[in-house]
Amino acid sequence: SGPSLRTYTSSDIAGVEIGGTLKNVYALGAGLCDGLKLGDNAKAAFLTRALQEMMRVGQALGGKSETFLGLSGVGDLMATAHGSWSRNRALGEAIARNAQQALAELASRRDAVEGHRATETVSRLAKSRNVDAPILFCLHKILFEGLDARAGVTALMTRDLKSER
């Protein structure tokens, strides 16, 4: 803790670690929203649904749902998804503009963009546990299967309607 941030303790080590990984994945998605110029409301809706998905994935991997509602979950997600310094958000924005170029440049970078590889790993783990994670799986398709970012957004937006949970 310090003059501009108060920290808290947690006994949920798995949840804190998983949240720290997942926020990078979903911050990359927030960058796609920025790069596609979807607007603040769309980005807020994306992050709201991403948080719900983080909780489902996190619980399936051994975290407690309440951990994702704290600083190490939603707090870190918001900072990383909105920060001008965020490498994950910036990569998502670059992919929205030109995926082929952005992914080629990623291969030659010396600094880490954790959300890229985390998407691959967490997607595999979520599938193996039958977790409902459409955003995560869509991001995987964009990053590793060549799905166009705008087509990915369309696929998510045209899913069957259901009650918000």
CATH of the domain at 68: 1.10.1040.10
Long-range contacts of 144-150 (CB under 8 A, 24+ apart): 144/119, 144/120, 146/99, 148/99, 149/32, 149/35, 149/36, 149/95, 149/96, 149/99, 150/36, 150/96
Whether residue 41 is contained in a domain is answered as yes
Query: Does 38 map to a domain?
Result: yes
Average pLDDT by consecutive 10-residue portion of the chain (165 residues)? 93 98 98 98 97 98 97 97 97 97 92 95 98 98 98 95 87
Task: Please tell me the total count of domains within the chain.
Answer: 1
Nearby residues of 137 by Cβ (< 8 Å), 6 or more positions away: 123, 126, 127
Summarised one tens digit per residue, pLDDT across range 59-107 is: 999 999 999 999 999 999 999 999 999 999 999 999 999 999 999 999 9
Q: Is 79 buried (19+), middle (13-18) or exposed (0-12) by CB count in 10 A?
A: middle
Task: Judge whether 6 lies within some domain.
Answer: no
Q: What is the pLDDT of residue 144?
A: 97
Flag whether 51 is in a domain. Answer: yes
Q: Is 23 a catalytic residue?
A: yes
Options 23, 43, 64, 141, the catalytic residue? 23
Establish if 8 belongs to a structural domain: no
